């Protein structure tokens, strides 16, 4: 049973309305976000129209702002945007879908001014706009927006997709647009692509860069951007209409032989029941040295072979791809299609192959993805001399995964990062190295036998002998 002082809704109710109101005023002092939230709740008591008015005012205020959005302000802005978006979707749309539709477009229009003054490269803010595209589509359906109005709005938005905020707009809007709307949207993009691209006189053209062929002019970049925007939009419309041939037609002949593009085309052909054509497309790709082929292309080939009924060939290819890349998804798919007990033998064979794989870090990644810590520890112990402590994307999570049941292997991984930082004099990594050394110290009591690995105290003494003058590091060691 919760104590009477536990912070929960039931206990707070006992304070009474007046006291809670006083506390809310006190808590909101100095917090603009909290005050806005309270005003929004008060507006809700007066109906959806009052809430919509508050949202509209706040969106206009955000649009007028000119201060730079650095990383410190991202979280607050994200919270503010999400409050406005959810209020539009969960409150205004329920009461007045048409008003909500106008508001969600006002929300989407904030993207360019926000990103123009943002110095933060995180993807957290743009996620709000991608979700707003989905929301706009749902609201359009409930508001029964005329397809001509919707088509015009989508067309203008995608034309001005400066930061990728409308990347999913056409796909999201497809159900609301319907066949006629998609046909109309396609026509608008085709006509736009045919509009003349006026070039100013040479003495008035702005040079924004230099290439192998000489200067790069702003109008040339704009023209290339327009062509790309049109091509992507027409591809998305073709997908929405289920028109594989039109999707393929948007790809220049040369790009169709690129592995990733060929894989995209093949997947669509397979879905359309045209697996034979899909294999032809994949075979057009220069597959010299297939070890370097992207995973997506390999997967498309496997799915195509399956669709053609060539299951044994598909299995052989899965194993070949696994041997080349140690990609766990290839092995999982291979094992899934084996009879009972045969999969256990095949898994053992795969583990033995990975243990001897030339690239030790690729093998370590495989064992971690497979959630086979014992095999990962075995690999680390056998091939510790090959470990690269500079791989900070791999080593810390690997050490964490092995720490509980394989403390010696985890210690070896931690030491590889410590040694790299000190041997190379990377002062920016000293604080991490000091933390890794502390982790080694905490793991040491759990290691019963260090074997041919130096015990912790001897390792530390050796570090001091070799790197005693790295005062920036030792000042961080506790």
Instruction: For residue range 300-313, list pLDDT tens digits in order.
Output: 999 999 999 999 99
Q: Is residue 334 part of a domain?
A: no
Tell me the CA distances in angstroms from 347 to 335, 341, 364, 367, 475, one per residue in order: 7, 10, 16, 12, 48
Q: Is residue 216 part of a domain?
A: no
- φ, ψ for residue 369 (rounded to 5)? -65, -30
Q: Is residue 427 part of a domain?
A: yes
- At 50 the pLDDT is 86
Q: What is the pTM of this model?
A: 0.75
- At 397 the pLDDT is 96
Is residue 74 within 8 A of residue 120, CB to CB? The reply is yes
Position with higher pLDDT, 276 vs 2: 276
Nearest of 408, 421, 438, 420 to residue 472 by alpha carbon:
421
Nearest of 38, 127, 114 to residue 70 by alpha carbon:
114
C-alpha to C-alpha distance for 266 and 7, rounded to whole angstroms: 56
pLDDT band at 196 (very low <50, low <70, confident <90, very high): confident
Nearest of 364, 381, 394 to residue 453 by alpha carbon:
381
C-alpha to C-alpha distance for 411 and 454, rounded to whole angstroms: 11
- φ, ψ for residue 208 (rounded to 5)? -115, 0
Interval 439-465: pLDDT, tens? 999 999 999 999 999 999 999 999 999
141-167 CB burial, b ≥16 within 10 A, e <16: eebebebeebbebbbebbbebebebbb
Report the mean per-residue pLDDT for the chain.
88
Ramachandran region, residue 198 (left: φ > 0; alpha: ψ -120 to 50; beta: rest): beta
Sign of CA dihedral 361, 363, 369, 372: negative
C-alpha to C-alpha distance for 156 and 233, rounded to whole angstroms: 12
> Which range has highest mean pLDDT (67-76, 212-221, 312-321)?
312-321
Q: Is residue 50 part of a domain?
A: no
Q: Is residue 211 part of a domain?
A: no
pLDDT band at 219 (very low <50, low <70, confident <90, very high): very low
C-alpha to C-alpha distance for 351 and 335, rounded to whole angstroms: 13
- Kindly report the CA angle at 260 between 353 and 126, in degrees rounded to 5? 105
Of the CA atoms within 13 Å of residue 136, those in its CB half-sphere come to 29
C-alpha to C-alpha distance for 409 and 27, rounded to whole angstroms: 50
Q: Residue 286 burial (CB < 10 Å; 0-12/13-18/19+)? A: exposed
Mapped onto helix, strand or coil, the DSSP state of residue 215 is strand
- Cα dihedral angle (248, 271, 171, 97), rounded to 10 degrees? 150
Q: Is residue 232 part of a domain?
A: no
Domain count, the chain: 1
- At 186 the pLDDT is 97
pLDDT band at 124 (very low <50, low <70, confident <90, very high): confident
Does position 410 have pLDDT exceeding 80, yes or no? yes
Specify the residue for token string 């006291």: 19
C-alpha to C-alpha distance for 382 and 234, rounded to whole angstroms: 54
How big is the chain by its Cα radius of gyration, in Å? 30
227's tokens: 């062509």
Specify the residue for token string 């070799």: 466
Of the CA atoms within 13 Å of residue 389, those in its CB half-sphere come to 22
C-alpha to C-alpha distance for 46 and 43, rounded to whole angstroms: 5
150's tokens: 């919707």
Specify the residue for token string 């052989």: 316
- At 293 the pLDDT is 87
Terminal Cα-to-Cα distance of the chain (whole angstroms): 42
Does position 22 have pLDDT exceeding 50, yes or no? yes
Centre a 10 Å sphere on the Cβ of residue 90 and count the other Cβ atoms it contains: 11
337-367 CB burial, b ≥16 within 10 A, e <16: eeeeeeeeeebeebbebbeebeebbebbbbb
Of the CA atoms within 13 Å of residue 446, those in its CB half-sphere come to 15
C-alpha to C-alpha distance for 82 and 103, rounded to whole angstroms: 13
Q: Is residue 286 part of a domain?
A: no
Q: Is residue 328 part of a domain?
A: no
> Which residues constitute the domain of residue 477?
387-478
C-alpha to C-alpha distance for 108 and 164, rounded to whole angstroms: 12
Does position 216 have pLDDT exceeding 50, yes or no? no
């Amino acid at each position: 049973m919760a104590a009477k002082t536990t912070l929960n809704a039931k206990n707070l109710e006992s304070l009474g309305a007046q006291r809670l109101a006083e506390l809310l005023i006190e808590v909101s002092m100095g917090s603009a976000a909290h005050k806005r939230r309270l005003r929004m709740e008060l507006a809700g008591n007066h109906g959806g129209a009052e809430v919509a008015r508050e949202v509209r005012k706040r969106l206009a205020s955000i649009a007028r702002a000119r201060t730079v959005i650095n990383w410190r302000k991202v979280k607050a802005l994200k919270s503010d945007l999400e409050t406005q978006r959810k209020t539009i979707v969960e409150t205004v749309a329920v009461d007045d879908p048409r008003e909500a539709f106008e508001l969600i477009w006002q929300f989407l229009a904030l993207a360019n001014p926000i990103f123009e003054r943002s110095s933060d490269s995180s993807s957290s803010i743009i996620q709000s706009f991608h979700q707003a595209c989905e929301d706009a589509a749902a609201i359009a359906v409930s508001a029964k927006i005329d397809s001509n109005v919707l088509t015009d709005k989508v067309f203008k938005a995608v034309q001005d997709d400066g930061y990728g905020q409308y990347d999913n707009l056409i796909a999201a809007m497809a159900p609301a647009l319907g066949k006629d709307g998609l046909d109309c949207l396609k026509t608008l993009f085709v006509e736009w692509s045919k509009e003349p691209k006026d070039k100013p006189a040479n003495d008035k053209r702005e040079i924004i860069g230099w290439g192998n062929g000489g200067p790069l002019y702003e109008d040339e970049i704009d023209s290339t951007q327009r062509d790309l925007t049109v091509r992507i939009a027409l591809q998305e419309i073709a997908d929405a209409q289920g028109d594989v041939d039109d999707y393929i037609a948007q790809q220049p002949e040369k790009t169709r032989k690129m592995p990733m593009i060929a894989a995209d085309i093949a997947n669509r052909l397979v879905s359309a029941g045209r697996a034979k054509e899909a294999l032809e497309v994949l075979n057009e790709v220069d597959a010299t040295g297939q070890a370097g082929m992207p995973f997506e292309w390999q997967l498309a080939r496997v799915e195509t072979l399956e669709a053609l009924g060539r299951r044994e060939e598909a299995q052989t290819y899965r194993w070949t791809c696994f041997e080349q890349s140690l990609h766990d998804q290839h092995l999982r798919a291979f094992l899934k299609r084996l009879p009972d007990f045969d999969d256990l033998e095949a898994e053992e064979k795969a583990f033995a192959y990975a243990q001897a794989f030339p690239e030790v870090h690729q093998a370590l990644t495989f064992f971690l993805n497979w959630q086979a810590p014992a095999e990962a520890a075995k690999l680390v112990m056998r091939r510790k001399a090959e470990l690269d402590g500079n791989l900070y994307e791999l080593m810390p999570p690997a050490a964490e995964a092995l720490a509980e049941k394989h403390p010696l292997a985890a210690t070896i991984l931690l030491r590889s990062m410590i040694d790299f930082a000190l041997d190379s004099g990377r002062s920016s990594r000293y604080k991490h190295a000091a933390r890794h050394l502390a982790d080694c110290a905490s793991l040491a009591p759990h290691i019963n036998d260090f074997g041919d690995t130096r015990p912790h105290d001897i390792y530390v003494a050796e570090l001091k002998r070799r790197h005693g003058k790295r005062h920036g590091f030792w000042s961080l060691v506790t």
